[in-house]
Amino acid sequence: MAVVLVVDDAQFMRLRLNKLLTEAGYEVVEAANGAEALEKYAQRPADVVLMDITMPQMDGLTALKELRQRFPDAKVVMCSALGQQSAVLEAIKSGAKDFIVKPFQPDRVLQAVAKLVN
Amino acid sequence: MGGIELSPEELELFLTESTEMVDTMEELLVTLETEGGSEAVAAIFRAAHTLKGGAATAGMENIARLTHALESLLDLVRSGERAVDADLVDALLEAVDVLRRCLAAVKEDGTDESVDVGGLAARLEALAQEPPGGTPGLSGRADGPSGQAAPASQGSTGTAAGEPVQEASRKDGSGKDESGKLARLSGQVAEGERVFRFIVDVEPDAAMPSIRLYQALMVFEEHGRVLQSNPTVKEIEETTADHTRLEALVVTAENPQDVQAALAEVSHLRQVSWEAVGGPSDKPDEGAGRGPAPGPAGAGGAPSRQGAGSSGPGRKPPGSGGDGPAAPSAAPMADTIRVSVRVLDRLMNLVGELVIDRTRLARLGHVDLQLQELQEELELVSGHLSRITAELQDTIMQARMVPLETLFRKFPRMVRDLARRLGKDVRFEILGEDTELDRAVIEQISDPLVHLIRNAVDHGLEPPQDRVAAGKSAQGLVRLSAYHQENNIYIEVADDGRGIDAERVKRTAVARGLLTADEAQQLHPAEALELLFLPGFSTAGQVTDVSGRGVGLDVVKKNIERVNGTVSIQSDPGRGTRFIIRLPLTLAIVQALLVNIRGTMFAVPLDSIVEILLVGGERVRMANGWPMVPVRDQVIPLVNPGDVWGAAFAAAWREDASNPVVVLRSGAGPLALAVDRLIGEQEIVIKTIDGMGGQVPGISGASILGDGSVALILDVTGFTKEVRRLGTAFRGHGGHFEKSA
């Protein structure tokens, strides 16, 4: 079973993504910030990481760069809100494979995850 | 290149675009013959080229082979080495027909294998071998060598969006660069590398589309180098503008197909196409490629939708009810239509607004509110809702509208072939082809128009010698025109031929037993022409395979009435004939007058109402057994719905008061309908009534009104016909007006 690491400081978002992905047959691991994400990934490399951009402690961009540095194969989908275009662009330059924009449309989330899992 | 497994969406896109290319080629070929012009040649060449690229990419080998032969031949025409003459145009048109058959086969079986193109391809090749300049007449118009007509913008990224770049180096081995710009660029192209122009489109509703294009540029850089792009990396990085299309000149040592495939890793790309730019890339299967973005097809992102008209109310399955004349070529209308991204965006926005309303409404159920507050909130929401739904309706209607050009474009070819076969010289004019009409209506009027145009060429126009003898030009004129007036679209088919002799029509009608000699005598010439629309009437002296196929104008009339249209005829003996078709703008929604008859609500389409009157009860006069009412200087027949549908629907007619009357437009002159009450004007959505369609004469469907009640929709044509049918029964007594008469 493919593993998806959901990184978001909002518990509600984690909950929703967890439900969506679990129902689609993925195993979900959650992390509430960038530091925790790095820790969880080191314990168990996920097939896909869904990474929120705006988070306290360690934000998504920093976490992305660090993650890619330590694990060059990490496949990261950035989760952004509208209006974060420059941050998304920076993420893409820093090696994020894809991005999705809130509010999430479930099929787009699944599409993005499925694409990287395959 | 081996056949690629295409997804249904890809196949559909391939078919839609290829059909457009074939249509374009056909249209231009007819223009080419009549007007000549290097631009037309260049445009046909481009269409063939694009078609070839798509076919090769899709693995449709016969189409690729045929288009390749076409391209070679057209290249000679373009360079002035081969003249344009009727033989050439015949062969090219035949190629168009065979391409259509190929596309039909692809639609059926997913491959064009079943169509034999060998003979035709050989013929095209033979034509390319023929010595040039045999017929100077038309060749002079081909503009000689300057027929290259190379677009000035070649090789630059400023090329108009979607316009295929021409390759001047088509001919094997000629290998010349297409422009100075490319020559400069060529310094950057190493051995084994080639330059391709890629066009990448992002799905219209994708968020941050510019970043998708940025990702595409990253992919290009991985697989080669980007020489130029629009937008540039810098433009994407420094502005937040949304770009949805990328044009990039890419140098790569890889196959363009592989680069295209690599773009699959970028999400939400709608379509990727590529073309070789200059350089030795003339392998027939490597000219150009185009297709939906590889990888998972974006759900619902493509700007086309299935069978826009298929759910249109009132639309019956094709072929049902009467066998209309066949269309000139088996060119099925693509069952997808293009909708502008702007329209889709607007729809999306409006749906978003609706969602907000839904949330507001749902909230009302959970929140404790005073009645007063509740009322205010409800008022706000309903105001907003009504504005949004009105806009939604407008926008959807706009999306359903298709220019008549899509239908008209097939006629020049038909007229040309017909004229050639009949030995007539015909000038065919089309006016107003940009007039827009609901797609469902367009589909329904195709057969009637084919019939009327064939009639005009075959029966309307005299043979050239007769025309000259009558002091007219040898060349006859057939004019197809469309225009918009009030809530209707008018389409006219006019010819300057012999016209129709009303007396002869009368005699034929009498001979066929359609009316008595006495009745015929009393008919006004204009009314006599209406006889042509009666079933079983045909004035054609002989049956030809062109229009005398046993299908008369009655079928034309029936088809047009099926979409709530009317058809009428005017003729000036010796000068010509004109058929006028009046069509509603749309089938789905009509402006109607609501009237109440004995407690039942009826909706009368506004476009069939002449006027609304109050008539004093005492003013009804009996004439010839008919109740008649005076309307200004006219006296028109008055009908009570009770006479048609029975006493349960009889309007009360008060002799001592004013009675509301709706004057209906009908083929045989106005008819006054008595009603109980006039309610008002309203837009209604037509719902067909399942299982009772056509069973009650004069009722075409029903509509649900704002308060949830149902109104029956009056089918004015059917109603007046029924009145006429019952007419004789009324004579001698006044029906429901008896007392007042």
Q: Which of A80, A88, A98 sits opposite B267 (nearest CB)?
A: A98
* B231 and B302 both lie in a single domain: yes
Residue B179's identity, in one-letter code, is S
* B309 and B353 both lie in a single domain: no
- B164 domain-assigned: no
**Which CATH number characterizes residue A88's domain?**
3.40.50.2300
* B354 and B240 both lie in a single domain: no
**Which CATH number characterizes residue B225's domain?**
3.30.70.1110
Q: What is the DSSP string of B131-161?
A: PS-S-HHHHGGGTGGGGG---TTTTSTTSPT
pLDDT at res. B716: 84
Active site residue B49: yes
Catalytic member of B62, B178, B443, B455: B455
**B240 touches A at CB < 8 Å:** yes
Task: Pick the last residue of a domain from B106, B134, B162.
Answer: B134
* B192 and B234 both lie in a single domain: yes
Catalytic member of B10, B17, B71, B247: B71
Interchain CB distance below 8 Å, B237 and A112:
no
Interchain CB distance below 8 Å, B240 and A114:
no
Residue carrying structure tokens 């006296």? B635
- B517 domain-assigned: no
* B269 and B389 both lie in a single domain: no
Q: What is the spatial distance between Cα A26 and Cα B665, in angstroms, rounded to a whole number?
A: 66
Looking at the complex, report in whole angstroms how far the Cα of residue B18 sits from the nearest Cα belonging to chain A. Answer: 29
Contact B330, B101 (CB under 8 A): yes
**Which CATH number characterizes residue B578's domain?**
3.30.565.10
Q: Which of B353, B336, B335, B358 is nearest to B395 (CA)?
A: B353
Q: Tell me what the mean pLDDT of segment B236-256 comes to.
A: 86
Interchain CB distance below 8 Å, B267 and A88:
no
Active site residue B255: no
List pLDDT tens digits, range B409-426: 889 888 988 888 888 889
Q: Given a cut of 70, is residue B222 above it in pLDDT?
A: yes
Q: What is the spatial distance between Cα A56 and Cα A62, in angstroms, rounded to a whole number?
A: 11
Interchain CB distance below 8 Å, A88 and B211:
yes
ipTM of the complex: 0.87
Active site residue B71: yes
List pLDDT tens digits, range B277-286: 764 433 434 4
Contact B249, B229 (CB under 8 A): yes
The residue segments making up the domain with residue B55 are: 1-134
Q: Which of B215, B296, B299 sits opposite A92 (nearest CB)?
A: B215
Q: What is the spatial distance between Cα B675 and Cα B613, in angstroms, rounded to a whole number?
A: 11
Residue B559 in tokens: 């088809």
pLDDT at res. A97: 93
Q: What is the spatial distance between Cα B713 and Cα B314, in angstroms, rounded to a whole number?
A: 12
List pLDDT tens digits, range B640-649: 998 888 888 8
Looking at the complex, report in whole angstroms how far the Cα of residue A90 sits from the nearest Cα belonging to chain B. Answer: 9
* B606 and B704 both lie in a single domain: yes
* Domain count for chain B: 5
**Which of B203, B208, B219, B348 has the highest number of chain A CBs within 10 A, making it the mutation to test binding with A?**
B208
In terms of CA atoms, which chain B residue is nearest residue A103?
A: B207
DSSP E strand boundaries for B125-268 = 194-202, 225-230, 245-252
Q: pTM, whole model, 2 decimals?
A: 0.44
**B173 touches A at CB < 8 Å:** no
List pLDDT tens digits, range B144-167: 333 333 333 333 333 333 333 333
The residue segments making up the domain with residue A66 are: 12-117
Interchain CB distance below 8 Å, B267 and A89:
no
- B38 domain-assigned: yes
pLDDT at res. B587: 62
3-state secondary structure of B280: coil
* B195 and B266 both lie in a single domain: yes
For chain A, the straight-line distance linking the first and the last C-alpha, in angstroms and rounded, comes to 12
> Of the ranges B4-8, B98-102, B361-365, which one carries the lowest mean pLDDT score?
B4-8
List pLDDT tens digits, range B316-329: 333 333 333 333 33
Q: Given a cut of 80, is residue B601 above it in pLDDT?
A: yes
- Residue B626 pairs with which residues in a beta bridge? B623
Contact A26, A2 (CB under 8 A): yes
In terms of CA atoms, which chain A residue is nearest residue B212?
A: A98
3-state secondary structure of A29: strand
Residue B627 in tokens: 């109740």
Catalytic member of B17, B49, B61, B223: B49
* B548 and B625 both lie in a single domain: no
- A1 domain-assigned: no
- B156 domain-assigned: no
Instruction: Write the DSSP symbol of residue B113.
Output: T
* B412 and B548 both lie in a single domain: yes
Q: Rounded to 5 degrees, what angle do the CA atoms B21, B27, B32 make? A: 115
pLDDT at res. B19: 87
* Domain count for chain A: 1
**Which CATH number characterizes residue B627's domain?**
2.30.30.40
Sheet holding B576-584, edge to edge: B426-431, B476-485, B488-495, B576-584, B566-572
Q: Which of B265, B277, B284 is nearest to B223 (CA)?
A: B265
Q: What is the spatial distance between Cα B448 and Cα B2, in angstroms, rounded to a whole number?
A: 43
**How many CB atoms within 10 Å of residue B388?**
18
Q: Which of B208, B218, B266 sits opposite A101 (nearest CB)?
A: B208
* B562 and B414 both lie in a single domain: yes
Residue B133 in tokens: 């300049």
Interchain CB distance below 8 Å, B299 and A107:
yes
Instruction: Write the DSSP symbol of residue B565.
Output: -
Q: Tell me what the mean pLDDT of segment B15-20 comes to.
A: 84
> Of the ranges B59-73, B144-158, B224-238, B569-583, which one carries the lowest mean pLDDT score?
B144-158
* B636 and B730 both lie in a single domain: yes
Residues of A in contact with B207 (CB under 8 A): 82, 101
Q: Which of B446, B437, B405, B414 is nearest to B318 (CA)?
A: B446
Contact B670, B632 (CB under 8 A): no
Q: Given a cut of 80, is residue B231 above it in pLDDT?
A: yes
Contact B705, B671 (CB under 8 A): no
Residues of A in contact with B269 (CB under 8 A): none
Phi/psi class of residue B173: alpha, beta or left (left: φ > 0; alpha: ψ in -120 to 50)?
A: left
pLDDT at res. B393: 81
Task: Pick the last residue of a domain from B82, B102, B134.
Answer: B134
**B297 touches A at CB < 8 Å:** no
Q: Tell me the C-alpha to C-alpha distance, in Å, between residue B513 and each of B303, B369, B451, B533.
A: 55, 76, 25, 15
Cβ contacts below 8 Å, chain A against chain B, sum to 35
Q: What is the spatial distance between Cα B440 and Cα B438, in angstroms, rounded to a whole number?
A: 6
